[in-house]
Structure 1
Amino acid sequence: MTHWLDNLLNRITMYRLLLYVLMAYVAVAALFGLTGTLSYPALSVSVSAVFLVAACWLVNRVFAWAYHAPPHNISAYLTGLILALIITPYRTAADLPIFIWAPILAMAAKYIMAIHRQHIFNPAALAVVLTSLAIGKSASWWIASAPMLPVVLIGGILMARKIRRFQVALLFLATSLTMTLFYGISHHTNIVSTLREALVLTPLLFFSTIMLNEPSTMPPTKKFRLLYAVTIGFLSGPQVHLGSTFATPELALLTGNLLFYVLARRERFVLRLQEQRNVAMSTMEYVFQSPRKFSFSPGQYLEWTLPHHHADSRGQRRYFTIASSPTEPGLRIGVKFYPKPSSYKETLSHLKTGDEVVAGQIDGDFTLPKNPKQQLVFVAGGIGVTPFRSMIKYLLDMNQPRPITMFSANLTVQDIAYRDVFDQAEQKLGIRTVYVLTDEPRIPSDWTGRRGFLNARMIEEEVPDYADHIFYLSGPQAMVKNYEHLLASMGVSRSHIKTDYFPGFA
């Protein structure tokens, strides 16, 4: 039922969707101001948003020039819009200081409060905390109102669906509402009214779907993300205070940012292109040199930033799974190119040895199980084979046999990537790869692998005891969804199906 929604969301990146959602919030708020539904005049809402976005853009350009860094315009737009939705719209000259200082401090945080190019704090949250301390002006979170609730709920659902972070948002909400419930009970208030006010008149929904899930400050694995949500939910409780200072959403978020920066450290790296080569038809492998070694688990991914002029609507950032093993020098990614590529891939295709990209935000739970005896089935569609290349190369280098069968599905023989690694693993470790070709008219007459689309019969014949295996699915999202349904129809438990997903998949 959600297939059409996923198709729609996958046409744009996470950052672009967030931009549209925040713009929609401002537009609806201005409309409500025009009709009198909100107490803020439409002109005030609109002018405030335009000013803060323009100020963030300008300050960002200045800092980027000073730090010799690429300016990420969309990041500045997003911060400006968030500030516009949490700082009371401009009305008098007394409001001017926060409108000047908030964008300056937010953009400064992106450059000054960053270690190894990795943000520590949410820029918008840090800005309003600092303005509160310095000039006595802070966030009102005016977007938290009954008229705005439906649009914030819809936008929040779209964002959570896009980045697959429903659990994080819901766990935060559950923790925060539980704290509110205990507060209400201890103060003998009407529980229903207290919870209703918490949902409608406080920024919980906006905070949980927009602020909490910011990728650059989010911990890298599911375990840490859920703990992060619980921690910030607890800290945002109405009874939490330090002396006379009571918790606010921004203080709770900054505390969580700092705590989990220490517990689950993340970094960004400037990488230089060392080598590029064809690994299949229209598929290139790029090998980058890192200035220092950093740890990752086979199967994880990174956000790759490639600054270029005239970026299209999909922007300058992409998520690519690391195709190399932690045992190999350098970092490898495999990239499939199609006709009429995006501006990002067009720029990538023209990289020369020594050119630089920025990689960071290592993430992902699509990794090998700790139990080496657990039976596994890998299902790869096209270039979705990259996480399996990372895992299997790691097992080869560590000489670790595991009970794995892999199905590698491609259109033609020429589309098969990394066959050398998989064939070597079959010889040395007994990790068997079943190659499946789907473009029947172009299958060679001497082909000994499987023909047609992977189906239940193929799986049953190649892996008779498949019910005891854990299935790993990686490839185009439509393919992954189809195989999830196929495995479910075969009686495979949902807990035995792992899918490769990263934010902004499109």
Structure 2
Amino acid sequence: MNFIDTFLNKITMYRLVLYYLLVLLGAAAFFGFFGILPASPADLAFSTLVIFGVCWATNAVFVKGFGAIPNVESVYITAGILALIISPVAPTDYAGVGFLIFASAWAMASKYIFAIGKKHIFNPAAFGVALSALLINQSATWWVAGNLALLPFVLVGGLLIVRKIRRADLVLAFSVVALLTIAVTAGGDPTTAVTRTLLHSSFFFLGLVMLTEPLTMPPSRLLRLLYGAIVGFLFAPNVHFGSFYLSPELALLIGNLYVYLVSPKGRYMLTLAAKNKLADGTYEFVFAPDRPFTFRPGQYLEWTLGHRFSDNRGNRRFFTIASAPTEADGMVRLGAKFYEPKSSFKRALDAMKLNDAISVSHLAGDFVLPKDKKKKLVFIAGGIGVTPFRSQVQHLMNTNDKRSVTLFYSNKTASEIAYKDIFDRAKQALGMKTVYALTNEKTAVPGTYAGMIDSALIAREVPDYKECLFYISGPHGMVEAFKKTLSGMGVSRFRIKTDYFPGFA
């Protein structure tokens, strides 16, 4: 799995999904050429071009009209999904072409018209085909998901997406509830019903690709499980309300409504108020939000920064909020480490001037302080992975919450240590212990530990470590290594929390 994770961490979630959809379209064209799929490559190419063109044009109109930050990746992902769930048509099929145009236009329009606080509520592709069925009596066939030739491609790519965003719990909840409901409501032969669902339905494509869209996903694990269960139950074809039966897209849209009800509302515009150097290569960006919003220390946001000539990692990133919700100035802080060569996003972020704006949404994350204040906490941070701990420690000081906290903070050199002033103040205010571990410092630095954080150091500084709750934040490789280290020390996996968010790269 290390090889797979190394590959996945080099690509953003959105770019991975886009490549996956393009591979599916390419595979479908290949099989169509040899007659394995009913649609000809020419019809598939024509339909795909129409969908992509209409999605792009519609989005461009709404971006200009609403003054929104454009996100081309999102447009192409929606278009790719539509091309895979609406049957390809020939140019002479005027009704079919009209369906493509109608569904594509409304899919993109829904992101702006049916949005509250600048955040869309519904999965765009699902909305487009559901509205088409309602108004023009044209329905999606989900042809990509019901063909055995494409099933391996759907599965492998879909599982890579789920691995990338670490949402196996959501997919598992959906799968278990859907298959159990199908088996129970099947009547005489549940085995056949389940087999038919797995091999000849939209089950995998819906569950692995569309259900896992981050912007229509709840912010915490428990709410995600409920979301998966709701959509899974409604997905079962024999579930109905009177004479009304649900389609896969309607099941997903109802789930989207649930997510809206239980999730933070809206998208926020942040204006740059200050930029401060924290350490070598590390800067803090201080933003003023357009309106107040609440969050828990340790949660993250999706940050969208429009810029020209974006590279293959796009114009969106997930970053932990470095500020505490209890800070008096109400500012939102972002800590960022800049490596060479910089991505186009990091270049644009670094080039921001005072009063420039960035858009944020999708507040989420379970990497938060436990409600039980008696639990002993151990924080392990690597590099800029220290940002959630800055938020949590500042919050503890602001609320005079004197918990038992030990922070292990690893950097190569002393000049790379960020937020040292915060952690040093916490020693005086809270009695918090901080161990600064330096792995590549040529001379001894007072008040630091020379070497890597290992089991011996943890056991020395925290003798009762088996009673502690561990929080690990940093590069993916570091997080995985410490999980193994702690497991080898006898720490239960239920006492280990890791900081993870979609689109890690």
Contact 2:126 2:252 (C-alpha < 8 Å) held by counterparts: yes
State the distance in 2 between where 1:311 and 1:168 align: 31
* 1-structure distance, mates of 2:484, 2:300: 25
CA drift of 1:291 comes to 1.9
Report how far residue 35 of structure 1 moved. Answer: 1.3
C-alpha spacing 1:410/1:133, structure 2 compared with 1 (3 Å): same
Q: For 1:109 and 1:46, locate their aligned partners in 2 and report how far apart those are by CA, in whole Å.
A: 25
1:208-253 deviation per Cα after TM superposition (whole angstroms, max 9, x unaligned): 0111011111111111111000011111122222332201111111
Q: How does 1:48-87 map to 2 (within 5 A)?
A: 48-87=47-86
**8 Å contact 1:52–1:84 — kept in the other structure?**
yes
Residue 153 (str. 1) matches residue 155 (str. 2): yes
| One-letter code aligned to 2:159 | I
Cα deviation for residue 447 of structure 1 reads 2.4
Which residue identity lines up with residue 45 of structure 2 in the other structure?
S
After TM superposition, the structure 1 = structure 2 runs for residues 333-352 of structure 1, keeping only pairs within 5 Å, are 333-352=334-353
3-state SS in 1 of match to 2:77: helix
Q: Show the counterpart of 2:480.
A: 481
The unaligned stretches of length 5 or more in structure 2 are none
Residue number in structure 2 paired with 1:306: 305
How far apart in 2 are the matches of 1:118 and 1:67? 12
2:21 aligned with 1:22: yes
Distance 1:325 1:497 in 2: 22
Q: Does 1:463 align with 2:465?
A: no
SS in 2 for 1:378: strand
Q: By how many angstroms is 1:260 displaced?
A: 2.2
Partner of 2:42: 43
Alpha-carbon distance in 1 for matches of 2:482, 2:11: 24
TM-score (norm 1): 0.97
**Worse-matched range after superposition: 194-203 or 445-454:** 445-454
Distance of 2:215 and 2:99 partners within structure 1: 25
CA distance in 1, matches of 2:455, 2:255: 46
Who is 1:180 aligned against?
Answer: 182
Does residue 6 in structure 1 map to residue 5 in structure 2? Answer: yes
Per the TM alignment, residue 154 of structure 1 is displaced from its structure 2 partner at its CA by: 0.3
Tell me the amino acid that sits aligned with residue 466 of structure 2.
A
Q: Which residue of 2 aligns with 1:248?
A: 247
The 8 Å contact of residues 438 and 452 in structure 1, kept in 2 or not, is answered as yes
Of residues 166, 184, 190, the one that matches 2:168 is 166
CA distance in 1, matches of 2:305, 2:441: 38
Q: How do 1:331-480 residues align onto structure 2 when only pairs under 5 Å count?
A: 331-441=332-442, 443=443, 445-480=444-479
**Identical counterparts, % of pairs:** 46
Name the CA distance, whole Å, in 2 between partners of 1:33 and 1:106.
26
Once residues 473 and 130 of structure 2 are traced to their aligned partners in structure 1, the CA distance between those partners, rounded to angstroms, is: 42
Contact persistence 1:70–1:307 (CA under 8 A): yes
Structure 2 Cα separation of the partners of residues 333 and 12 of structure 1: 22
Q: In structure 2, what is the Cα distance between the partners aligned to 1:305 and 1:213?
A: 19
Q: Deviations over 1:394-422 (max 9, x none)?
A: 00000010011000111111100001111
Residues 1:495 and 2:494 aligned together: yes
Report SS of the residue matched to 2:70.
coil
**Contact 1:179-1:238 within 8 A present in 2 as well:** no
CA deviations on 1:276-326 (whole Å, 9 max, x unpaired) are 100111100001001221110000000000000111111100111000000
CA contact (8 A) 2:50 2:101 kept: no
Contact kept, 8 Å, 1:413 with 1:437, in 2: the verdict is yes
SS at match of 1:143: helix
SS of aligned partner of 1:5: helix
State how many pairs are aligned.
Answer: 500
CA contact 1:53–1:81 (8 Å) conserved in 2: yes
Q: Write the letter of the residue equivalent to 1:236.
A: F
Q: Which residue of 2 aligns with 1:99?
A: 100
**Distance of 2:312 and 2:445 partners within structure 1:** 45
Decide whether the 8 Å contact of 1:405 with 1:431 is kept in 2: yes
How far apart are the structure 2 equivalents of 1:447 and 1:430? 19
Aligned to 1:202: 201
CA contact (8 A) 1:321 1:387 kept: yes
Q: One-letter code of the match for 1:239?
A: N
Aligned letter for 1:62?
V
Contact kept, 8 Å, 2:183 with 2:191, in 1: the verdict is no
Matched, 1:294 2:293: yes
Q: 8 Å contact 2:438–2:450 — kept in the other structure? A: yes
Alpha-carbon deviation of 1:446? Answer: 4.6
Deviations 1:139-162 (A, max 9, x none): 111112221111101011100000
Mapped contact 1:220–1:266 kept (Cα < 8 A): no
**Residue 317 (structure 1) aligned with residue 326 (structure 2):** no
User: Does 1:233 pair with 2:232?
Assistant: yes
Equivalent AA in structure 1 for residue 184 of structure 2: F
Q: Which amino acid aligns with 2:237?
A: P
Cα deviation code 1:32-75 (max 9, x no counterpart)? 11111111212222221222112211111111111122221111
1:329-359 C-alpha deviation (Å, 9 max, x unpaired): 1100100011210111111111111000001
| CA shift in 2, pair 1:446/1:146, >3 Å | closer
The whole-number CA distance in structure 2 between the counterparts of 1:469 and 1:311 is 43
Alignment partners' CA distance in 1, 2:23 and 2:460: 52
Q: Which amino acid aligns with 1:142?
A: W
CA deviations 1:424-465 (Å, max 9, x no partner) are 111111111111100032x3x452321111111111110111
User: Which amino acid is 1:147 matched to?
Assistant: A
Other structure's SS at 2:368 match: coil
For structure 1, list consecutive stretches of 5 or more residues without a partner in the other structure: none
3-state secondary structure, aligned to 1:158: helix
For the residue of structure 1 that corresponds to 2:358, the secondary structure is strand
Q: CA deviation at 1:490?
A: 1.2
Deviations 1:68-121 (A, max 9, x none): 222211111011110001101113223111111111101100111111111111
Greater displacement, 49-58 / 148-157: 49-58
Question: 1: CA distance between counterparts of 2:449 and 2:402?
Answer: 24
Structure 1 distance, partners of 2:94, 2:259, is 39
CA distance in 2, matches of 1:232, 1:359: 27
| Separation in structure 1 between the aligned mates of residue 45 and residue 73 of structure 2, nearest angstrom | 19
Task: Provide runs of 4+ in structure 1 moved above 4 Å.
Answer: none
For residues 167-207 of structure 1, give each alpha carbon's deviation from its aligned partner in whole angstroms, at most 9, with x where no partner exists.
111110111111110112xx212x22211101111101000
TM-score (norm 2): 0.97
CA offsets, 1:244-283, max 9 Å, x none?
A: 2201111111111112211223321011011110011110
- Report the AA paired with residue 373 of structure 1: K
Aligned to 1:136: 137
Asked whether the 8 Å contact 1:272–1:355 carries over to 2, the reply is yes
CA distance in 1, matches of 2:243, 2:264: 31
CA distance in 2, matches of 1:283, 1:265: 29
